[in-house]
């Protein structure tokens, strides 16, 4: 990577301070950074600190006689292997969509013939606003790679998606782009373009009567993040979700279900697919009979009613063992509280799937924002460090893209 150079456009947001860490991390990997600081960006970091870390002059003005004599803005836009906008504010993205050229950053984005990577960071409402959704979709179809922001507590005190991804995740994406991996000719066509992925997420609800049900604590976060990461790689994604309090990630077709049997039907209706990722915490049993009227207590001292259970279909096993329409890559999850890897390895065989993403749910994982997983394949076990659920999703999407990009054997070996 030592001969690679990026042009980093630092937008105006509180996350701008993380661009300093990004410059340092890239420098450690031998990736040179030339920087444009927008006037908003310079409210959060100074040109002096940016130039001290990058070891280069920082560009701020569109019309600067000295800069134009040294390096014109057109040349600046083409002198890098990759243009990275970090943080990409809602305003910068809107300008890029509409082809504005009223400052150095927007003019550079319009003039460049180099691949562009945008790393958004903004308030959750701004990120979820219809205008930003339209802009992100337009940027992606224009060939720009737009990373999904992280979810969590924000500087403004709100909670949700909109946080700048962790610096190591940004560095990994930059390296991937520079490697030319995953992105065709760097023009932003995702590595999963042309594929169809089905993801299940959330809990299922198994009714006992019209007001009561059996369910579990699954928040759906990991499954939704995986659906979003696959869509960000260009896949057509069908997300079959049990009841959760989450917005569907953009670009994903959401099918809402309640019970395990409805979930299986929705998955089968969505086939054929290249990839099936079974993240849902499907209830193993359901009440054998769901009363049509609310069950009533018969009076003090009356006998406690007993509940007979019936087994639910195992969606993962059913899909894994399909003769017709079995997706090329079937991935299951194994939430365990003990002996995680042994159980996961046994589950791989029992279910007949290709990979198992194993996680230890003995702590605060279920419903939380972080996850620590091991990817179990027939080739072995790959242990990942604890990271945010969005990072897990991104990394898994990349593994999936690598596996689909290779030969059939690679499907089994890609996770080693
Ligand atoms: O057997 P266990 O529930 O631990 O297996 C977990 C994996 O199987 C997950 O991928 C989950 O989505 C899937 N599963 C399923 N249908 C069930 C039970 C689990 O698809 N009825």
Ligand 1 center to 280 CA (angstroms) = 7
Secondary structure string (H, E, C) spanning the chain? CCCCEEEEEECCCHHHHHHHHHHHHHHHCCCEEEEEECCCHHHCCCHHHHHHHHCCCEECCCCCHHHHHHCCHHHHHHCCCEEEEEEECHHHHHHHHHCCCCCHHHHHHHHCCCCEEEEECCCHHHHHCHHHHHHHHHHHHCCCEECCCEEEECCCCCEEEEECCCHHHHHHHHHHHHHCCCCECCCCECCCCCCEEEEEECECCEECCCCCEECCCCCCHHHHHHHHHHHHCCCEEEEEECCCCCCCCCCEEEEECCCHHHHHHHHHHHCCCCEEEECCECCCEEECCCCCCCCCCCCCCCCCCCCCEEECCCHHHHHHCCCCCCCCEEEEEEEECCCHHHHHHHHHHHHCCCEEEEEECCCCCCCCCEECEEEEECCEEEECCCEEHHHHHHHHHHHHHHHHHCCHHHHHHCCC
Ligand 1 center to 376 CA (angstroms) = 15
pLDDT level of residue 183 (50, 70, 90 thresholds): very low
Please indicate if the annotation marks 189 as binding a ligand: no
Going by CA atoms, what residue is nearest to atom 6 of ligand 1?
334
pLDDT level of residue 239 (50, 70, 90 thresholds): very high
**Which pLDDT does position 88 carry in this prediction?**
98
pLDDT tens digits for 309-360? 999 999 999 999 999 999 999 999 998 888 888 999 999 999 999 999 998 8
pLDDT tens digits for 11-35? 999 999 999 999 999 999 999 999 9
Pocket test residue of 282, 334, 354, 396 for ligand 1, highest count of atoms within 8 A of CB? 282
Greater model confidence, 40 or 369: 40
Q: Which domains does the chain have, with CATH numbers?
A: 5-179 (3.40.50.1950), 196-285+308-404 (3.40.50.10300)
**Which pLDDT does position 407 carry in this prediction?**
42
């Amino acid at each position: 990577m030592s001969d690679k150079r990026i042009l980093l456009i630092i937008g105006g947001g509180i996350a701008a301070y993380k661009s300093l860490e990004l410059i340092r991390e890239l420098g450690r990997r031998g990736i040179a950074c030339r920087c444009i600081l927008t006037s908003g960006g310079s409210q959060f970091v100074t040109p002096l600190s940016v130039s001290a870390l990058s070891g280069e002059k920082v560009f701020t003005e569109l019309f600067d006689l000295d800069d134009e004599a040294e390096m014109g803005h057109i040349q600046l836009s083409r002198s890098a292997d990759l243009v990275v906008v970090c943080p990409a504010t809602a305003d910068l993205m809107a300008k890029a969509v509409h082809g504005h050229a009223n400052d150095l950053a927007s003019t550079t984005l319009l003039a460049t013939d180099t691949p562009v990577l945008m790393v958004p960071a903004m308030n959750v409402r701004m990120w979820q606003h219809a205008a930003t959704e339209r802009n992100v979709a337009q940027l992606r179809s224009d060939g720009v790679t737009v990373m999904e922001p992280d979810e969590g507590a924000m500087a403004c005190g709100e909670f949700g998606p909109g946080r700048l991804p962790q610096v190591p995740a940004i560095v990994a994406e930059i390296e991937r782009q520079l490697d030319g991996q995953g992105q065709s000719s760097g023009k932003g066509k995702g590595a999963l373009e042309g594929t169809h992925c089905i993801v299940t997420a959330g809990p299922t609800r198994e009714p006992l009567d019209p007001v009561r049900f059996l369910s579990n604590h699954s928040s759906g976060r990991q499954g939704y993040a995986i659906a979003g990461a696959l869509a960000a790689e260009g896949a057509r994604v069908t997300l079959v979700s049990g009841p959760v309090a989450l917005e569907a990630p953009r670009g994903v077709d959401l099918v809402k279900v309640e019970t395990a049997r409805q979930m299986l039907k929705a998955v089968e209706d969505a086939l054929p697919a290249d990839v099936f990722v079974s993240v849902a915490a499907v209830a193993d049993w359901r009440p054998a009979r769901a009363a049509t009227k609310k069950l009533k207590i018969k009076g003090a001292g009356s006998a406690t009613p007993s509940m007979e259970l019936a087994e639910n279909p195992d969606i993962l096993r059913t899909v894994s063992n399909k003769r017709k329409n079995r997706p090329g890559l079937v991935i299951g999850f194994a939430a365990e509280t003990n002996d995680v890897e042994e159980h996961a390895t046994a589950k791989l065989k029992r279910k007949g799937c290709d990979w198992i993403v194993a996680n230890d749910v003995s702590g605060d994982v279920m419903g939380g924002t972080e996850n620590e997983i091991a990817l179990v394949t027939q080739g072995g076990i790959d242990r990942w460090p604890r990271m945010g659920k969005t990072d897990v999703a991104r990394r898994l999407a990349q593994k999936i893209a690598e596996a689909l990009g290779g030969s059939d054997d690679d499907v089994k070996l890609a996770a080693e």
